[in-house]
Structure 1
Amino acid sequence: MTDASLDKPDIVLIVTDQQRYDTIAALGASHMDTPNIDRLAERGVTFSNCHVTAPSCVPCRASLFTGYYPHTNGVLANGQPWSRTWVEDLANAGYRTVNIGKMHTIPYDAKAGFSERYTVENKDRFMEGRWYFDEWDKALASHGLKKQQRVEYRKRDDYRDALGAFLWELPEKLHSDNFVGETARWWLETKPVQEPLFLVVGFPGPHPPYDPTPDYAQKYMDRDLPLPEFTDEDAAHLPPPLTEKRLHDVEVDHDSVAWKLNPTRDELHRMRAYYYANVEMIDRQVGGILDTLEARGRLDNTIIIFTSDHGDNLGDHGLSQKWAPYEEVTRVPLIVSAPERFTGGREVDALVQLFDLGPTILEWAGVAPDPTFEAVSLNPALEGRAFAGRDHVFCEQGGDVNLTGASFVTMVRSDTHKLVHYQGADYGQLFDLQADPRERRNLWDDANAAPVKAELMQVLMNWHIDSAVATRNARRLIVAPQAEVAI
């Protein structure tokens, strides 16, 4: 392979939805079978300390595809409109830009810089976009079927005890993750493409409802699995917004998850078994995509990225799903595999943020990233050059229907400590991540921790000031012109 042929690599970005870091065998999850993602890790570079900029889908994805923090681009919660992306820069540089699966732009079918989009959205759209029919809806309808969803799950006798875990009872090939994976393979096998390719494959899983096919579900039901430990003492130490979130999630069944304050061990085991089964189903589809790329003859010149938009508490801290910036939510897998370009089998443990992929990808395509980006390139680490990473990573969540007790939440994390700030409140959270990696002992009011707390509060203030100065002349608007925003 010549140097010239490496100038414009194909780039395949695989993004799952709500996948924790501790769900990949090669990254230490001994309870998992993920041979295909393992193959990427073994041949690639793993960023083992990658954190999202927002603990929910839409603001995280808007941040990833714009290069700005949520407070800069204005997308702070689910349901808020965004559609302008740096993907346009790749298209202008000669790339065929394709999205198959979930992107979670608002509106769902915004062009977002792609020349082709095959949109698949959440498995359960109820409060938002319920009557938007995506490619998956159409495929089910062509078979005289409709997707399993909240209005149907609610009819089940075990709905209040299932914690969002339900078997997929329709044809296997029509499961959302199978449908997205097979659609990606079909496109790669049939579409003639001469220009370099940027392909985003967005899997809807393992986001709830946790809905594996019976064979995968039973496999994990038969295993001993790591289960959450949450005590009355832990509950008493939660800040008020998270206590309110626990109650809210019992009353409102977001994404078909009817939460319980005190689920049984059997209920937690089933929820996690189904979640892990969803992950392995995605792994199988990743393997199919890799095989298709190899058969296409372009694998050697393809950079493959595997990641997720955030994690899932799965009962840790007594919480359902996301929105709270614990490690189970903010830390995600990030693997970059391109053995012809980057020495594989390496782990980079420096702090990075998921949206740092933006300038990294643009540089691969020979495009200079926007100088106002708050994201920074990961290429020094990939190329084996000196790379210190970030001193701190940040995560923020604006008002959301799922986080009713807080108007704005901001997290700052160093290598050793994490601080969570609740706007307008005299309470907060502070954790010593070395002594307390499970984040169970809140040091906010601990006098001995006051210097660390003050330091991180200062970091948080400086971050906002520096962000305002650095991006004041940002040229990029991420909400499309009015003509494109029709829903």
Structure 2
Amino acid sequence: MVDRPNIILIITDQQRHDTVAGLGAHWMKTPNLDRLVASGVSFGNCYTPSPLCVPARASLFTGMYPHSHHVTMNFYKWEPTWVRLLAEAGYHCANIGKMHTNPYDAPGGFHQRIVVENKDRPMFLDEPERAYYDHWDIALRSQGLTRPTRYARYKRDPAYFKEALGAYPWEYDESMHPDTFVGRTACWWLEERQADAPLFLEIGFPGPHPPFDPPRRYIDMYDDVDVPMPRTTAAELAAQPPAHRALRQNMIDKNFDCVAWKNDPSTEAIRRMRRYYAANVTLIDEQVGNIMSVLERKGYLKNAIVIFTSDHGENLGDHGHIQKWNMYDTATKVPLVVWSSDLKTRDVRTDSLVQLMDIAPTILDYAGVGIPAGWEAVSLRPVLEDGTATVRDSVYSELYRDHIQSGSECIVMRRDARWKAVWYLGESCGELYDLEADPDELQNLWDSKQHVQIRNEFVQHIQDWLIRGAIENREQNREKPQPAMAIG
């Protein structure tokens, strides 16, 4: 590969791993992502470091797990670290769309940011630090429009709000949809750019995060599509730890992100929600195709790496849950596709275990920038250049108590090639799944007498991993210059 390739990182929000037709989701309509799959490398076992937006993104942009970078909740302050290294190496760094930094407009090492945040976002005008109108807000206002919110939708039709499960047809012109706005803005920006420096461009789509709000023409594409439906049983729900019940009740009581969840949503409502979600993904797929066309026409793809992924998944009713905040694959496994005209490997699908944050050292590796010492992320270059290679024997994901996941102080998931265990701090309950025999994670083996040894081994691995991380952080902090102490 030629030195200093252009690097295009495309991140969606809350996209399940099983939403790309080219990777086996036959019900999906994703022709542009399918083309990337057909000529790139796809990772079938990419796991997020946290099934929560900000901790996951902070891991991706710091190269560390949440317990190391300490951004464990959505409202903690953070901004990227390694983008500055690319800028110092001569890259022109830009972000268009969602980053979910805090504050929202934190520079993060980028030369330019065009910020688009959550679709359903309260203004918090009584909290100046969180009151922020992004570029999409401004574009809407310039047309005399206001951003749709859960409050406006409930006020307009309370009965439908309670049944919709967050599924709403987009109510304005298609051009003003946030994902269309991000895609078109990225195309416009690329058309206008004149710089000769190599490009690092992060494009962040707000969807398919709820509300599930595609324009009508995308909804129509799924009218007759038989989308897969959840297979949740009373036995499965009964075997879940208490934290699951607390999470489910919080989602029912508080209508997060325009979703009024239920213990027993109707089959019709679930099917509509899943079709709208799929339609949101197809909208994004179309925008990815437009972006790739501009990149090709402008010559960027002659020497480029294009990476497509998401920060975490979405349960969509599987296991009785909506959104994320648990450790099922529906919430923790994400799509990851890497494409380059210079890759020797083509149409490769690897089951190598990797973490979302491994994208960071991979980018620095190909850009010729040194990977910071102490990073817990590892470069995927060996896998990209030899589809049979592996870089990890296990992956982790972690989650901490907040106002939504209120049932446990700390939840940690570890999985290897066959087994997945979920440990709850200070609790005797947990989760254990044999992914070889039970890939859908429907049978919790935590209390099985036949599986005590494997359960205990995984718990020991998790506890050692947390303690080792704390020790390494302590050593790194010890090496940093300490401020002088005042005397007297």
Give the shorter-chain TM-score range.
Answer: over 0.9
Is this contact kept in 2: 1:372–1:473, CA < 8 A? no
How is 1:323-334 mapped onto 2 (pairs within 5 angstroms)? 323-334=325-336
Q: Which letter maps to 1:418?
A: K
Are residues 1:439 and 2:435 paired?
no
Aligned counterpart, 1:479? none
Cα deviation, 1:175-208, whole Å, max 9, x if unaligned, reads 0000000000000001211100000000000000
Aligned counterpart, 2:133? 133
Cα deviation, 1:129-173, whole Å, max 9, x if unaligned, reads 874100000000000001111111112130000000000010100
By how many angstroms is 1:385 displaced?
Answer: 7.3
Aligned counterpart, 1:483? none
Which stretch of the first structure deviates more once superposed, 78-87 or 67-76?
78-87
Q: State the secondary structure of the residue aligned to 2:372.
A: coil
Are residues 1:405 and 2:407 paired?
yes
By how many angstroms is 1:402 displaced?
Answer: 1.2
Q: Which letter maps to 2:78?
A: W
Aligned counterpart, 1:485? none
By how many angstroms is 1:223 displaced?
Answer: 1.4
Looking at structure 1, the residues matched to 317 and 471 of structure 2 have their Cα atoms a distance apart, in angstroms, of 40
Aligned counterpart, 1:480? none
Are residues 1:85 and 2:87 paired?
no
Looking at structure 2, the residues matched to 242 and 386 of structure 1 have their Cα atoms a distance apart, in angstroms, of 37
Q: State the secondary structure of the residue aligned to 1:306.
A: strand
Cα deviation, 1:331-363, whole Å, max 9, x if unaligned, reads 111000003234221112110001001111001
By how many angstroms is 1:230 displaced?
Answer: 1.4
By how many angstroms is 1:473 displaced?
Answer: 4.2
How is 1:62-101 mapped onto 2 (pairs within 5 angstroms)? 62-101=58-97
Is this contact kept in 1: 2:310–2:336, CA < 8 A? yes
Aligned counterpart, 2:35? 39
Structure 1 pair 238–99 and aligned structure 2 pair: CA distance change class (3 A): same
Is this contact kept in 1: 2:103–2:130, CA < 8 A? no
Looking at structure 2, the residues matched to 146 and 51 of structure 1 have their Cα atoms a distance apart, in angstroms, of 36
Looking at structure 1, the residues matched to 388 and 30 of structure 2 have their Cα atoms a distance apart, in angstroms, of 31
Aligned counterpart, 1:482? none
Structure 1 pair 385–224 and aligned structure 2 pair: CA distance change class (3 A): closer
Q: State the secondary structure of the residue aligned to 1:349.
A: strand
Aligned counterpart, 1:161? 163
Q: Which letter maps to 1:132?
A: Y
Is this contact kept in 1: 2:349–2:387, CA < 8 A? no
Q: Which consecutive unaligned segments of at least 5 residues does structure 1 have?
A: 477-487
Q: Which letter maps to 1:152?
A: A
Looking at structure 1, the residues matched to 193 and 259 of structure 2 have their Cα atoms a distance apart, in angstroms, of 39
Looking at structure 1, the residues matched to 422 and 253 of structure 2 have their Cα atoms a distance apart, in angstroms, of 25
Q: Which letter maps to 2:373?
A: P
Aligned counterpart, 2:25? 29
Aligned counterpart, 1:375? 377
Aligned counterpart, 2:458? 456
Which stretch of the first structure deviates more once superposed, 103-112 or 124-133?
124-133
Is this contact kept in 2: 1:338–1:344, CA < 8 A? no
2:197 maps to which of 190, 195, 198:
195
Aligned counterpart, 2:486? none
Looking at structure 2, the residues matched to 9 and 171 of structure 1 have their Cα atoms a distance apart, in angstroms, of 37
Looking at structure 1, the residues matched to 144 and 344 of structure 2 have their Cα atoms a distance apart, in angstroms, of 47
Looking at structure 1, the residues matched to 236 and 15 of structure 2 have their Cα atoms a distance apart, in angstroms, of 24
Number of residue pairs aligned between Structure 1 and Structure 2: 473
Looking at structure 1, the residues matched to 213 and 5 of structure 2 have their Cα atoms a distance apart, in angstroms, of 35
How is 1:73-472 mapped onto 2 (pairs within 5 angstroms)? 73-126=69-122, 131-155=131-155, 156=157, 157-384=159-386, 387-472=389-474
Looking at structure 1, the residues matched to 113 and 454 of structure 2 have their Cα atoms a distance apart, in angstroms, of 47
Q: TM-score, normalised by structure 2?
A: 0.94
Looking at structure 2, the residues matched to 347 and 187 of structure 1 have their Cα atoms a distance apart, in angstroms, of 32
Q: State the secondary structure of the residue aligned to 1:19.
A: coil
Looking at structure 2, the residues matched to 84 and 24 of structure 1 have their Cα atoms a distance apart, in angstroms, of 28
Looking at structure 1, the residues matched to 475 and 176 of structure 2 have their Cα atoms a distance apart, in angstroms, of 46
Is this contact kept in 1: 2:398–2:410, CA < 8 A? yes
Aligned counterpart, 1:8? 4
Is this contact kept in 1: 2:68–2:469, CA < 8 A? yes
Q: Which letter maps to 2:391?
A: G
How large is the RMSD of aligned CA atoms in angstroms?
1.6
Looking at structure 2, the residues matched to 50 and 96 of structure 1 have their Cα atoms a distance apart, in angstroms, of 28
Is this contact kept in 1: 2:312–2:332, CA < 8 A? yes
Q: Which letter maps to 2:266?
A: T
Is this contact kept in 2: 1:19–1:312, CA < 8 A? yes
By how many angstroms is 1:472 displaced?
Answer: 3.3
Q: Which letter maps to 1:143?
A: Q
Structure 1 pair 92–162 and aligned structure 2 pair: CA distance change class (3 A): same
Cα deviation, 1:47-97, whole Å, max 9, x if unaligned, reads 111000000100000000000000000011211111141111111111010
Which stretch of the first structure deviates more once superposed, 403-412 or 92-101?
403-412
**What is the percentage of aligned positions where both structures have the same residue?**
49
Cα deviation, 1:226-274, whole Å, max 9, x if unaligned, reads 0111122222122101011111111101000000110111000000000
Which stretch of the first structure deviates more once superposed, 101-110 or 423-432?
423-432
Q: TM-score, normalised by structure 1?
A: 0.95
Looking at structure 2, the residues matched to 80 and 311 of structure 1 have their Cα atoms a distance apart, in angstroms, of 21
Looking at structure 1, the residues matched to 476 and 93 of structure 2 have their Cα atoms a distance apart, in angstroms, of 24
Q: Which consecutive unaligned segments of at least 5 residues does structure 2 have?
A: 479-488
Structure 1 pair 467–293 and aligned structure 2 pair: CA distance change class (3 A): same
Is this contact kept in 2: 1:188–1:293, CA < 8 A? yes
Which stretch of the first structure deviates more once superposed, 452-461 or 22-31?
452-461
Which stretch of the first structure deviates more once superposed, 125-134 or 16-25?
125-134
Which stretch of the first structure deviates more once superposed, 130-139 or 349-358?
130-139
By how many angstroms is 1:475 displaced?
Answer: 6.9
Q: Which letter maps to 2:323?
A: Q
Q: Which letter maps to 2:305?
A: I
By how many angstroms is 1:318 displaced?
Answer: 0.2
Looking at structure 2, the residues matched to 344 and 74 of structure 1 have their Cα atoms a distance apart, in angstroms, of 38
